[in-house]
Each structure stands twice: as structure tokens, then as C-alpha cells.
């Protein structure tokens, strides 16, 4: 009984195997191997290049050599469906582009003028001012292949405040020949401004320079710088002792006192006179 059971089981297994194999043979007979021209057209369309050589292997697979602008490759393609089973890179073609070429390729993407270009890790970063002045577009081009990596609008940068030295330079260019007396950063209805006090000759000025745009906001002439100095000079002059122009007369010399006449003197004079008369 057991022997019959084993024979029946083996027979059933053999029947199933024969049926399965027959189905595969029939299915294989229904498949059609694609022509080389069809396989070539599929590969060249998919990878944008040229087929070099093609060979149908025993596994019903096409072995193909292929090249495009990026490099050379070896492909295994299903001979029935045209599906790529395996792709191997055999040689990489590197054709670096120059800055000028990167600019031209970027301008093909954006209508405008290139304002800057820099190289970051083999990627050209090109900034283009749009022709309609709607903003700045950033285009990234791969240096080795010249292909477009990315493209997008540049985010707006927060305004940067200028330094006090830059503001003073602007004020000096505005008030030529002026001397900086002092600088202070203040808030105004037009935003932050530098208030710069200056002296030009005998004039004092307050020059306000915008801390963001560096524009001259206002120029105010305060006063005559020499007025205070003149007042001080006047005060000094008033305090000075005025010179005395009155001529000093020399003291009068004291006249010698006359001696009183003696009575005998008069008599002598009379006698003298008498003597004179007598001589006559």
C-alpha cells in the first residue's frame, strides 16, 4: 500500500514539472527578440547619446557600449522588452567651462544683466539683475559639465548700517575743507542718521548722513564761528587800560626868593644917583 502511494506521488510531481516546463517553452516561443535597431533607438532616446557596439548574448540580453557628453558606458538590455538591466560607467568625460561660458548659459535661463559670478565647490554661482527690475535671479552652473544645477530668486538681504567713519567721509565730501568736530548716531523720522558737527572757516554746520543709504539728509548752518571769538576779544579790549595821552608837564622850577631891601641899600642907590648927577 505504501509503495503504491509513493509511486503515485512521484508520478504527480513528474506531471507538474512537465506541465510547468511546457508552459515556459510556450511562453518563450511567444516572445519576440527586439531588433538591434529598436534597442538602439530606445537607448539613444533614454540617455541622449550614441550606441557604439551591440551584441546579443546567450542569456537573451544585449550587451551595448554607449557614449554621451558625460562619458562612456556599458549597458545590459533585455532583448525582449528593451529594459536596461545594468549600467556601468567606464569613462567620465570632464569638459570644464569658463566663467564667460557660465555667464552665457546663465543668461539663457534669465533675461537680464550679470552683476556677479563666483565659484563655489566647482559650481558657478551667477547673479543676474532681471531686465524688468523685479529682482535678482541666482543661477548655478556646474563647472565640469556646464549643466544647470539650480535657479531661483535671491532672498532680500537686511539693510546694512554704515560706520561712523564712512558717514564722516560722506560729510567731508559734502562740506569741502570742513573739519569734523563730533559725530553721533541718532534716530529721526527718516530712520537712523549720523549727526556730524563740522567747522568750515568761520562757519559751523550740522550735516546729517543716513546710516543705511549714506545719503545726505540735511545740512544746517548753525552760526558764525568767529562771533564768540570776537566777543571775547572785545571783552579783553574793554578790560585793557587805555593809554593816557595827556602830556606830563615838567614841574615848574621854584623861583629864588628875593631878599628884602635894607634901608641902607636905598640910601646907597640914592647916593649912587647923586654921584652920577654930580659927575654930570
Count the helices and strands in the chain (H runs, E runs).
Answer: 6, 12
Cα gap 225→202, rounded to integer Å: 5
In total, the chain counts a number of residues equal to 280
Q: What is the pLDDT of residues 52-98, one digit of tens each?
A: 899 888 778 989 998 887 788 898 999 888 888 888 888 877 678 89
Cα gap 99→104, rounded to integer Å: 9
pLDDT at res. 280: 38
Residue (of 198, 229, 202, 232) closest to 216 by Cα position: 198
> Which fold is adopted by the domain 164-228?
Nuclear Transport Factor 2; Chain: A, (3.10.450)
The most confident of the ranges 18-22, 241-245, 269-273 is: 18-22
Q: What is the pLDDT of residues 3-58, one digit of tens each?
A: 565 566 566 656 656 655 555 555 455 578 888 888 889 888 888 888 889 988 87
Residue (of 141, 155, 64, 152) closest to 99 by Cα position: 141
State the Rg of the chain over Cα: 60
Q: What is the pLDDT of residues 121-178, one digit of tens each?
A: 899 999 999 888 888 899 999 998 888 899 888 766 677 899 999 999 999 999 999 9
Please report, for the chain, the start and end positions of each structural domain, with discontinuous segments joined by +: 28-92, 99-153, 164-228
Cα gap 241→231, rounded to integer Å: 18
Three-state secondary-structure class, residue 164: helix
CATH of domain 28-92: 3.10.450.40
Mean pLDDT, residues 223-247? 49
pTM over 0.75: no
Cα gap 36→42, rounded to integer Å: 10
Q: Would you say 167 and 182 are in contact if contact means Cβ atoms under 8 Å apart? A: no
Three-state secondary-structure class, residue 110: coil
Where on the phi/psi map is residue 185: left (φ > 0), alpha (ψ -120 to 50), or beta?
beta
Hey, what CATH class is 99-153 in? alpha beta
Q: What is the pLDDT of residues 180-230, one digit of tens each?
A: 999 999 999 988 999 999 999 889 999 999 999 999 999 999 866 544 444
What is the dihedral sign for C-alpha 101, 106, 111, 115?
Answer: negative
User: What is the DSSP secondary-structure string of 195-210?
Assistant: EEEEEETTEEEEEEEE
Q: Does pLDDT of 110 surpass 80?
A: yes
Amino acid at each position: 500500500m505504501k509503495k503504491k502511494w509513493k509511486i503515485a506521488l512521484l508520478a504527480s510531481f513528474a506531471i507538474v514539472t512537465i506541465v510547468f516546463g511546457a508552459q515556459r517553452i510556450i511562453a518563450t516561443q511567444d516572445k519576440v527578440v527586439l531588433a538591434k535597431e529598436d534597442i538602439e533607438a530606445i537607448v539613444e532616446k533614454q540617455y541622449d547619446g550614441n550606441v557604439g557596439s551591440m551584441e546579443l548574448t546567450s542569456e537573451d540580453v544585449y550587451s551595448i557600449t554607449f557614449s554621451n557628453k558625460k562619458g562612456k558606458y556599458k549597458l545590459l538590455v533585455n532583448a525582449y522588452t528593451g529594459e536596461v538591466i545594468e549600467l556601468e560607467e567606464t569613462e567620465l568625460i570632464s569638459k570644464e567651462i569658463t566663467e564667460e561660458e557660465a555667464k552665457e548659459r546663465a543668461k539663457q535661463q534669465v533675461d537680464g544683466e550679470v552683476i556677479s559670478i563666483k565659484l563655489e565647490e566647482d559650481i558657478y554661482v551667477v547673479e543676474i539683475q532681471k531686465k524688468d527690475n523685479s529682482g535678482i535671479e541666482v543661477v548655478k552652473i556646474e563647472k565640469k559639465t556646464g549643466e544647470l544645477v539650480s535657479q531661483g530668486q535671491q532672498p532680500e538681504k537686511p539693510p546694512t548700517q554704515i560706520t561712523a567713519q564712512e558717514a564722516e567721509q560722506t560729510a567731508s565730501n559734502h562740506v569741502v575743507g570742513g573739519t569734523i568736530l563730533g559725530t553721533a548716531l541718532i534716530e529721526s523720522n527718516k530712520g537712523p542718521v549720523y549727526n556730524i558737527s563740522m567747522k568750515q572757516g568761520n562757519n559751523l554746520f550740522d550735516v546729517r548722513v543716513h546710516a543705511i543709504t549714506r545719503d545726505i539728509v540735511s545740512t544746517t548752518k548753525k552760526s558764525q564761528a568767529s562771533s564768540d571769538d570776537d566777543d571775547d576779544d572785545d571783552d579783553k579790549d574793554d578790560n585793557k587800560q587805555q593809554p593816557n595821552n595827556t602830556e606830563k608837564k615838567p614841574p615848574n622850577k621854584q623861583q629864588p626868593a628875593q631878599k628884602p631891601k635894607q634901608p641902607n641899600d636905598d640910601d646907597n642907590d640914592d647916593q649912587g644917583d647923586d654921584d652920577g648927577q654930580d659927575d654930570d
